[in-house]
Amino acid sequence: MGNIKTIAKRELNAYFASPVAYVFIVIFLLLTGFFTFMIGRFLEANEASLNAFFMWHPWLYLFLVPAAGMRLWSEEHRQGTLELLMTMPITPWQAIVGKFAASWLFLGVALCLTFPMYITVNYLGDPDNGVIIGGYIGSFLMAGAYLAVTCLTSALTRNQVIAFIVSVVICLLLILAGWPPVTEFVNGIVDSLAPNATWIVSMVSSFSVMTHFEDFQRGVVDPRHVLFFLSVIGFSLFSTSVVLKSKRS
């Protein structure tokens, strides 16, 4: 744990030692406010809930989280410090967890800074705060899943732009997997090849982050949905360790 804390502290200092952290936080807060009040019409809805706030998070994270995490390993590649990091008395897994934990904590700080939304909805009405807390938990887990995917793509290349684009594409696929046009398309293929294999459509739909995040928006913290996001994080970080070990060897 000492090594993980050291790496996490180093990574957090790297964020806040440059304008990256502050620019990210400002953009995130501005976009959440714009989409909530202007696009989601929070005030016109006359509803004491933050549905108009949480419904845009999967799409905001689609670009902002890869932008925040694309430098995790690509920067180490570019500066030539990856070899130095790997020669230190730490394991690749400790380095991965430390970097990921610092970046996830940074995203959590950005999410917590949206507390004026919570204050506003409680001032204007009498919302179910349990539902709001569930939405925050789901949003934090979803941000972690996007970040873990970005961590993997960043380990694959030293080019931050490539890492950003690939992670956006993968996260977009995770969003669209449960959308009716996609499931209908998969269902048409399954019917033509294996009419009795309808479970394939359900399996593809289960990979959608929207399917799992919707229950959090309703205040339902289902262990199955928590396990899904944690599984995406665990698989992506494990894959990252495989990539780094291959580069180390």
The ranges assigned to domains in the chain are: 2-248
pLDDT at res. 12: 84
pTM of the predicted model, to two decimals? 0.87
**Mean pLDDT over each residue of the chain, to the nearest integer:** 83
Tell me what the mean pLDDT of segment 94-117 comes to.
Answer: 90
Segment 207-242, tens digit of pLDDT: 788 888 888 988 888 898 999 999 999 999 999 888
Query: If you search the block for the tokens 């008395």, which residue do you land on?
Result: 89
Tell me what the mean pLDDT of segment 98-107 comes to.
Answer: 91
Which tokens in the block code for residue 145?
């899943």
User: Does the pLDDT at position 92 exceed 80?
Assistant: no
Cβ within 8 Å of residue 64, ≥6 positions away: 24, 27, 28, 31
Q: How many CB atoms lie within 10 A of CB 130?
A: 11
